[in-house]
Amino acid sequence: MELLKKNIHMERTKSKAFLQIPLETDINVSDTKPDVARVIYHSGKIKVDEIKTGMNKIWVKGRLCYQLLYQADGENSTLAGMDGEIPFMEEIYLDKMEGQDRVICKTKLEDLRVHIINSRKLSIQSVIALEPRVEESVSEELCVELDHSENTDFGDKLEYRKKSLDFLETIVKKRDLFRVHEETRLPAGMPEIGTALWKSVEIGSISFRPMDEKLGIAGELSVFIVYREDSTDKMNWYETMIPFSGSVECQNSREGMLADVAYEVGHEEIAIREDSDGELRVIGVEMTIELEIKLYQRESTSIVADVYGVSCEVQAGIDTKQFRDLHTELNLEEKFSRSIRLEDAEPKLLQICHCDAQPKLEEIVFQDNQLKLSGEIQLQILYASNGEGLYPVKDTVPFEITKELPSIDQTQIDQYSAAVLIPQQTASIKDSSQLEWRGTMNIKILMYCEKNEDILTELNIAPINAQVLEKLPGFAIYYVKPGDSLWQIGKKYYVSVQRIREMNNLAGDEIKAGDKLLIIK
């Protein structure tokens, strides 16, 4: 008897870890830069350059890239900018890690602070988090049918039942780079760019859509620059959103698949270029987005669950296997607002220049049929006051979101992926000492569950033992016990389920404790 099998491909989490590390350094102001009076604005990004693997450990090499905007000390109180990087190399223990395994390492900048030591020296303190994970690809064989053609002696004397198995099959698993080349121009009423003091680009929104043989990508880049005019040396700023779209090749991808795509920004550059009139009014953006692509197909397959013989002995090899399935897919949208009042000593509000909101999802809890999300939004807002200069406003917006999810608890969720973005935000002036921030936060969560299933792996058939046959009654009256099924009863007496139904005029397989069944061999 041959088992007809179907081969499937899945992903399993082999090992994962979490490490928080402090990074601290002192930096000297370049001789070409003016003295520092106060730091106005700062940002940082973590770049992972290399991951080396070994037995039960990895080495992560990277750097924290920082950028500062500060007010210079002196009569003019001009603005100036600085940037640099802090390298790091960390050894992280990963249980079950082997040298050939692929490692995915998520990063998070937990905290970044800049302190002035003196007018020519600054201290940068930060905390970064590294979350490496190893996922292995596994193949499993599922018995979907029995082939009777090679064993006519026993093929019609077998009783077998099937069950439905729902799981996620991995269709595409790959790493790729998506390159963004976009440009924008200063509005006609703005002066051309002389010296750029601050240049930043962030992914404001991004989405992924499986298509035939490719993965479609669309989003927006948030670009912000602070610059001085070339002629008058006057300070200006410009902020805009640049849409981008494109695709990367994904063999076997099809529309309707489930996309779980993690991304990190690699190389990024903002270049100021001349337009056709020879003026520096063109802002070019180049960015590489490193993609970790997983595309799943939701499958529901009927497999052979168990076999017994009616006139033969059957030894069924059963093995317990793990399968991953999608428990829940959520797309949440939450709106927030925050009123911020300036201190009495702070300069009065004249114009909002830029607002930056960084969402920090700190905890996800599954309990009591609820999903609870908690964290905070870190705000940095720049505004202009009377006279030359920009001034910062910093605040945090804590949040706690509760979503009702029937029949969910922590033990059901094996793994989840969460993507949090703030695609829309505005800051408006309420009066000279108060502003209001409004933003929309989008949260996409994919929750996976692992389930164990008994899988038929082999089948051995032999003639029924004569002693067993002699002990079987010609007929019997069986009293159904709690938990009994027609399958169990038929297997015990070497009788097909259909035969039991016919002898007892049963329309289906429903029986209950206390029922009397006639068993005839």
Q: Is residue 258 part of a domain?
A: yes
| Per-residue pLDDT band at 409 (split at 50, 70, 90) | low
Write the DSSP string, 421-451. Answer: EEEEEEEEEEETTEEEEEEEEEEEEEEEEEE
**Residue 41 belongs to domain spanning:** 9-137
Given a cut of 70, whether residue 149 has pLDDT beyond it is no
- Three-state SS for 469? helix
**In this structure, are 160 and 305 located in the same domain?**
yes
**Residue 387 has what pLDDT?**
66
**Residue 346 has what pLDDT?**
87
Total structural domains within the chain: 4
Closest CA to 397 of 333, 332, 338: 338
**Residue 1 has what pLDDT?**
64
Q: Is residue 144 part of a domain?
A: no
Given 462, 478, 513, the domain boundary residue is: 462
**In this structure, are 455 and 472 located in the same domain?**
no
**Residue 17 has what pLDDT?**
93
| Per-residue pLDDT band at 168 (split at 50, 70, 90) | very high
DSSP state of 102: -
**Residue 388 has what pLDDT?**
67
What are the pLDDT digits (tens) for 259-302?
Answer: 999 999 999 999 999 999 999 999 999 999 999 999 999 999 99
**In this structure, are 397 and 477 located in the same domain?**
no
**Residue 159 has what pLDDT?**
85
Q: Is residue 145 part of a domain?
A: no
Given a cut of 90, whether residue 217 has pLDDT beyond it is yes
**Average pLDDT, integer, range 75-81:** 80
Residue 476 CA neighbour count, 13 Å, CB half:
14
| Per-residue pLDDT band at 411 (split at 50, 70, 90) | low
Q: What is the dihedral of CA 190, 196, 202, 208, to 10 degrees?
A: 70
**In this structure, are 28 and 161 located in the same domain?**
no
**In this structure, are 267 and 197 located in the same domain?**
yes
| Per-residue pLDDT band at 156 (split at 50, 70, 90) | low
Contact status, residue 72 vs residue 79, Cβ threshold 8 Å: yes
**Average pLDDT, integer, range 93-108:** 87
**Average pLDDT, integer, range 111-137:** 93
What's the whole-number average pLDDT of the chain?
A: 89
| Per-residue pLDDT band at 474 (split at 50, 70, 90) | confident
What are the pLDDT digits (tens) for 21-30?
Answer: 999 999 999 9
**Residue 76 has what pLDDT?**
67
**Residue 11 has what pLDDT?**
83
Given 462, 479, 496, the domain boundary residue is: 462
Given a cut of 80, whether residue 99 has pLDDT beyond it is no
**Average pLDDT, integer, range 54-64:** 92
Compute CA distances 75 → 34, 167, 252, whole Å: 12, 69, 65
**In this structure, are 216 and 299 located in the same domain?**
yes
| Per-residue pLDDT band at 148 (split at 50, 70, 90) | low
What percentage of the chain exceeds 90 in pLDDT?
A: 59
